[in-house]
C-alpha cells in the first residue's frame, strides 16, 4: 500500500528573543505557544523550518520541513505583533479590548485578564498566586505572547546559586586572569520594555530576595554588582515588567514564608481554581478526540476532591490540580483507561498510610465510582456525593 505523504498546513521560522525561541508563520503570526520549547530550540539551532501536520487520528504535531517554496515572513524579534499605545485614551481602549488576546486554553476571568494586561502595560511588578497546577505560569507566558515584548525566564525555585543567577560569577583562566562574567539577568534588566518572568519565587533562597529588593522597588530600580562603592550599579531599563509566580500557604511545605517587604513590591493577581464546568470546558478544548462524557467524569473527580479538601473535616489535604487532570486526559488520549490513568497520575500524590482510612483509599473510592461505566451520567448521584464529602 502506498504511503500517504502529509503536507504541512502552516510553516514557521524560529527566532530568538531574549532567552525565548519565538515561532512566526508565513503571514507574520506568532505561533510560539503552539510548539514545545525543545522543538523550537532545535529548529533555531539547526536553522531549519517547522511545519504543522495533522495525523490520521486528528492529532496535530510540528516537525522539520525542507525544500519548502514558501518562506516565512522574517518578523524581527523586537517588533511587537500587538502595538501597545501610549496615549491614555488609547491605553484604556487597549486594556478593555484585550480579552480577545487571551488564549482559549487559558481559563481566566475577563476581569482578571484585563487586570493582568493593565498591570503589564503600566510597568507594574506582578505576582501570580494560587494553588499548584492552576495555571499561574501559563497565564504569565500567555501575557508575554500577547504583548510580544522581549522576554526572559528565570526559575528561581531551581537555582542553587542565587548570586550567580542574578548577578554573575568571578572566573579565572590561564592567560586571561581573573574576570567577572555578568549573568543573563543583568542583560535582561537592561533591555527596554522586557518582560522578566521570575518563576517559583516562593521557593527561592532568601539571598535571591535580598538581591531583588532594590531591583523591584519602584523608587530605586537598580542592581548593585558588589557591595563595594566602586562597583557598577546597573539601572533597570524603562518599561521593564517583572512577573513572579508563587505558591503561598501552609500546604506548600518546601516554600518559604515570603518577606512582607518583598510582597509589597508586587501587584497581586490571584488565579482561581476551576469549577466543574470550567474544567470540563478546558479538557474538551484540549482533547477534542477523547469522549466528552469521560472528560466530564475527570472534571467531576477533580471537583469532588477539591470540595473535600476545603471542608473542616477534610479526609484529604489537597484536591487534584488542573495540571494533573490534563496529564490524566493525555493518558486517556493515548489509550489508557480511566482506572489505569488514575493509578499512575493521581494515586501517587496521596498518602497510603492508614490502610482503609488513608487519603489514597478515599480518593480511590471516588475514582472507582466513575470506572464502572464511563457512559453513565448518574454514576455519582446527589446522595453519593453527600456521602463522599460528609
CA angle at residue 295 from 289 to 296, to 5 degrees? 140
pLDDT of residue 303: 94
* Surface-to-core class of residue 145, CB atoms within 10 Å of its CB (0-12 exposed, 13-18 middle, 19+ buried): buried
pTM attached to this predicted model: 0.66
pLDDT of residue 250: 41
Query: In the chain, which stretches have pLDDT less than 70?
Result: 1-5, 18, 57, 67-86, 179, 227-231, 248-257, 372-390
Cα→Cα distances 159→150, 204, 205, 224, 310, Å: 22, 8, 8, 20, 33
Place of cell 487559558: 106
DSSP assignment letter at 71: P
List residues bridging with 16 in a β-sheet: 21
pLDDT of residue 202: 86
For the chain, the straight-line distance linking the first and the last C-alpha, in angstroms and rounded, comes to 60
Cα 155 from Cα 200, distance rounded (Å): 6
The C-alpha cell that represents 213 in the structure block: 529588593
The C-alpha cell that represents 264 in the structure block: 509589597
C-beta of residue 306 within 8 angstroms of C-beta of residue 375 = no
pLDDT of residue 375: 45
Please give the helix or strand (H or E) that residue 54 lies within, else none.
Answer: strand 49-54
Count CB-CB contacts under 10 A for residue 269: 22
Cα 305 from Cα 76, distance rounded (Å): 47
SS3 110: helix
Instruction: Provide the CB-side half-sphere exposure for 47 (13 A, CA).
Output: 0
Count CB-CB contacts under 10 A for residue 259: 13
Cα→Cα distances 369→128, 348, 376, Å: 35, 19, 10
Alpha helices, DSSP H only, in the chain?
37-46, 88-96, 110-121, 136-147, 162-166, 184-189, 206-216, 260-263, 276-286, 292-309, 322-333, 338-345, 359-368, 382-389
* Residues whose CB falls within 8 Å of the CB of residue 149, separated by 6 or more in sequence, listed in order: 80, 193, 194, 195, 241
pLDDT of residue 388: 52
The C-alpha cell that represents 156 in the structure block: 528561581
Instruction: Provide the CB-side half-sphere exposure for 17 (13 A, CA).
Output: 25
Q: Angle, nearest 10°, between helix axes 338-345 and 359-368?
A: 160
C-beta of residue 53 within 8 angstroms of C-beta of residue 97 = no
Cα-trace Rg, the chain: 24
Dihedral angle of Cα 296, 297, 298, 303, to the nearest 10 degrees: 90
Dihedral angle of Cα 336, 341, 345, 349, to the nearest 10 degrees: -160
Transcribe 308-364 into DSSP letters. Answer: HHTSTT-SSSSPPPHHHHHHHHHHHHTT--HHHHHHHHTGGGS--TTGGGSHHHHHH
Closest C-alpha among 42, 65, 37 to residue 52: 65
- Pairing status of strand 233-235 against strand 177-182: unpaired
Q: Angle, nearest 10°, between helix axes 322-333 and 276-286?
A: 40
Amino acid at each position: 500500500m502506498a504511503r500517504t505523504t502529509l503536507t504541512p498546513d502552516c510553516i514557521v521560522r524560529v527566532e530568538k528573543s531574549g532567552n525565548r525561541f519565538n515561532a512566526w508563520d508565513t503571514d507574520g503570526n506568532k505561533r510560539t505557544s503552539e510548539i514545545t520549547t525543545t522543538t523550537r530550540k532545535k529548529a533555531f539551532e539547526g536553522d531549519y523550518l517547522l511545519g504543522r501536520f495533522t495525523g490520521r487520528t486528528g492529532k496535530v504535531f510540528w516537525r522539520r520541513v525542507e525544500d519548502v517554496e514558501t518562506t516565512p515572513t522574517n518578523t524581527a524579534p523586537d517588533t511587537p505583533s500587538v502595538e501597545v499605545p501610549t496615549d491614555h485614551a488609547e491605553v484604556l481602549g487597549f486594556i478593555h479590548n484585550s480579552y480577545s488576546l487571551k488564549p482559549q486554553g487559558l481559563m481566566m476571568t475577563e476581569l482578571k485578564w484585563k487586570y493582568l494586561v493593565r498591570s503589564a502595560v503600566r510597568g507594574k511588578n506582578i505576582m501570580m498566586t494560587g494553588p499548584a497546577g492552576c495555571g499561574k505560569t501559563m497565564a504569565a507566558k500567555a501575557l508575554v505572547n500577547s504583548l510580544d515584548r522581549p522576554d526572559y525566564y528565570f526559575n528561581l525555585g531551581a537555582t542553587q546559586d542565587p548570586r550567580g543567577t542574578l548577578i554573575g560569577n568571578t572566573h579565572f583562566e590561564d592567560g586571561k586572569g581573573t574576570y567577572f562574567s555578568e549573568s543573563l539577568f543583568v542583560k535582561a534588566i537592561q533591555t527596554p520594555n522586557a518582560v522578566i518572568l521570575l518563576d517559583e519565587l516562593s521557593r527561592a533562597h532568601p539571598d535571591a530576595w535580598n538581591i531583588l529588593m532594590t531591583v523591584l522597588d519602584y523608587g530605586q530600580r537598580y542592581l548593585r554588582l558588589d557591595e563595594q562603592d566602586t562597583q557598577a550599579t546597573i539601572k533597570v531599563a524603562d518599561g521593564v515588567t517583572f512577573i513572579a509566580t508563587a505558591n503561598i500557604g501552609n500546604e506548600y511545605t518546601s516554600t518559604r514564608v515570603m518577606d512582607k517587604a518583598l510582597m509589597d513590591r508586587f501587584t497581586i493577581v490571584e488565579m482561581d481554581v476551576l469549577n466543574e464546568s470550567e474544567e470540563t470546558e478546558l479538557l474538551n478544548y484540549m482533547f477534542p478526540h477523547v469522549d466528552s462524557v469521560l472528560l466530564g467524569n475527570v472534571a467531576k473527580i477533580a471537583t469532588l476532591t477539591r470540595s473535600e479538601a476545603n471542608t473542616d473535616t477534610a479526609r484529604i489535604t489537597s484536591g487534584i490540580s488542573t495540571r494533573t487532570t490534563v496529564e490524566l486526559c493525555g493518558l486517556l488520549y493515548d489509550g489508557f483507561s480511566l482506572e489505569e490513568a488514575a493509578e499512575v497520575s493521581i494515586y501517587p500524590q496521596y498518602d497510603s498510610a492508614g490502610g482503609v482510612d488513608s487519603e489514597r483509599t478515599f480518593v480511590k473510592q471516588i475514582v472507582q465510582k466513575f470506572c464502572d461505566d464511563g457512559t453513565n451520567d448518574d454514576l455519582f448521584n446527589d446522595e453519593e456525593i453527600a456521602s463522599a464529602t460528609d
